[in-house]
């Protein structure tokens, strides 16, 4: 059985239960999103703790035995994490996955060290790693950004309030959004109705992916009624992406050209 090991805290120090809970929850979200990108079966995967040792707490995490797992899931996770801690970003990584990795690297707090081990390979996340990564991951801040999708969840337990927008245009991804109390009613109504909406605000983009890492909603969401017949006629009528390239590859090419000319 392939096992990912997670060591929380310094040797001989006992981590707080809250720290363990936060790290494992963010790890679950990363593995679930990575699972989807690697073509895992369209069900919610389950991960289990299969080992535990004291000292600084070390846990062994693996997909549930009954789950059909993409064979490279844990190795890809270990490779991604190693590259990210060295400010290298896989071009095919989605904005959503990068956002989940960002949360994992930041957790549980700025100071507690976390070690991730796969096979003989170990990666340490500490205060210096977190600071370096945060400087590298934020590439562009854009204003008056517009996105269309459905609002699927809202968190109002602490400010700034937040929600998730699931995009309607492929590749379908979840975009983190924050918003002020002044638009809470309209966002809650869009969640209740599950209607397609357009949201506008300021966005933070990372070095990979076509969607922002986070969008701060500044205007009331507006319901969108798509013109299906027009969309049918528009398909393939505009050659925006060169033949033989995916939209992700084309956007990455444009990004590299822009950075080279900066």
Question: Tens of pLDDT along 125-134?
Answer: 999 999 999 9
Give 238's DSSP letter: S
**Dist. CA 2–CA 118, nearest whole Å:** 8
Model pLDDT, residue 237:
56
Write the secondary structure of 175-217 as one string of H (helix), E (strand) and C (coil). EEEEECHHHHHHHHHHHHHCCCEEEEEEEEECCCCCCCCEEEE
Write the CA distances from 87 to 27, 81, 98, 172, 198, integer angstroms: 19, 10, 12, 26, 33
pLDDT value for 259: 72
Asked whether the predicted pLDDT for residue 262 surpasses 80, the reply is no
Q: In terms of pLDDT, which residue wins out, 115 or 10?
A: 115
Residue with tokens 């033949």: 243
More confident residue, 262 or 139: 139
Burial class (CB in 10 A: 0-12, 13-18, 19+), 194: exposed
Task: Label residue 92 left, alpha or beta by phi (over 0 means left) and psi (-120 to 50 means alpha).
Answer: alpha
Q: Could you tell me the two tokens for 168? A: 């309607």
Average pLDDT of span 183-198: 94
Residues 139-183 pLDDT 10s: 889 999 999 999 999 999 988 999 999 998 777 899 999 999 999
Q: What pLDDT does residue 227 have?
A: 65
CA-based torsion, 241, 242, 247, 252: positive or negative: negative
Residue 82 has pLDDT above 70, yes or no: yes
Kindly state the helix (H) or strand (E) to which residue 228 belongs, with its residue range. Answer: helix 228-234
pTM of the model: 0.82
The superfamily CATH assigns to domain 140-239 is Nucleic acid-binding proteins (2.40.50.140)
pLDDT in tens, 20-68: 999 999 999 999 999 988 886 667 788 999 999 876 788 999 888 766 7
Q: Residue 107 pLDDT > 90, yes or no?
A: yes
Tell me the CA distances in angstroms from 191 to 156, 185, 223, 235, 249, one per residue in order: 13, 10, 11, 29, 32
Find out whether 101 and 80 touch, Cβ atoms under 8 Å.
yes
- pLDDT at 242 (0 to 100): 78
pLDDT recorded at residue 189 = 95
**pLDDT digits 0-9 by tens, 223-250:** 987 666 665 665 655 566 777 787 777 7
Write down the domain spans for the chain. 4-137, 140-239
> Cis omega (within 30 of 0) on the bond before 171?
yes
Q: Which of 45-49, 107-111, 181-185, 257-261 is predicted with the least confidence, judged by mean pLDDT?
A: 257-261
Provide the greatest CA pair distance for the chain: 65
Geometric angle at alpha carbon 149, from 107 and 159, rounded to 5°:
40
Rg (CA), the chain: 20
More confident residue, 261 or 81: 81
């Amino acid at each position: 059985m392939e096992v990912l090991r997670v060591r929380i805290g310094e040797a001989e120090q006992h981590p707080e239960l809250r720290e363990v809970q936060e790290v494992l929850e963010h790890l679950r979200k990363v593995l679930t999103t990575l699972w989807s990108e690697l073509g895992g079966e369209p069900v919610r995967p389950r991960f289990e703790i299969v080992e535990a040792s004291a000292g600084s707490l070390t846990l062994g995490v693996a997909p549930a035995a009954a789950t059909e797992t993409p064979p490279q899931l844990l190795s890809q996770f270990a490779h991604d994490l190693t590259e990210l801690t060295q400010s290298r970003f896989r071009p095919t990584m989605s904005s959503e996955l990068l956002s989940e990795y960002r949360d994992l690297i930041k957790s549980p707090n700025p100071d507690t060290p976390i070690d991730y081990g796969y096979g003989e390979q170990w990666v340490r996340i500490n205060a210096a790693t977190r600071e370096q990564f945060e400087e590298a991951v934020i590439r562009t801040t854009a204003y008056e950004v517009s996105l269309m999708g459905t609002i699927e969840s809202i968190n109002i337990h602490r400010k700034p309030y937040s929600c998730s927008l699931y995009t309607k245009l492929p590749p379908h991804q979840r975009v983190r959004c924050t918003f002020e109390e002044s638009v809470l009613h309209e966002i809650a109504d869009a969640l209740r109705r599950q209607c397609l909406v357009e949201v506008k605000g300021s966005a933070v983009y990372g070095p990979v992916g076509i969607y922002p890492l986070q969008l701060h909603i500044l205007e009331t969401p507006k319901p969108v009624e798509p013109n299906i017949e027009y969309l049918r006629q528009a398909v393939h009528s505009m050659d925006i992406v060169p033949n033989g390239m995916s939209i992700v590859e084309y956007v990455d090419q444009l990004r590299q050209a822009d950075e080279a000319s900066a």
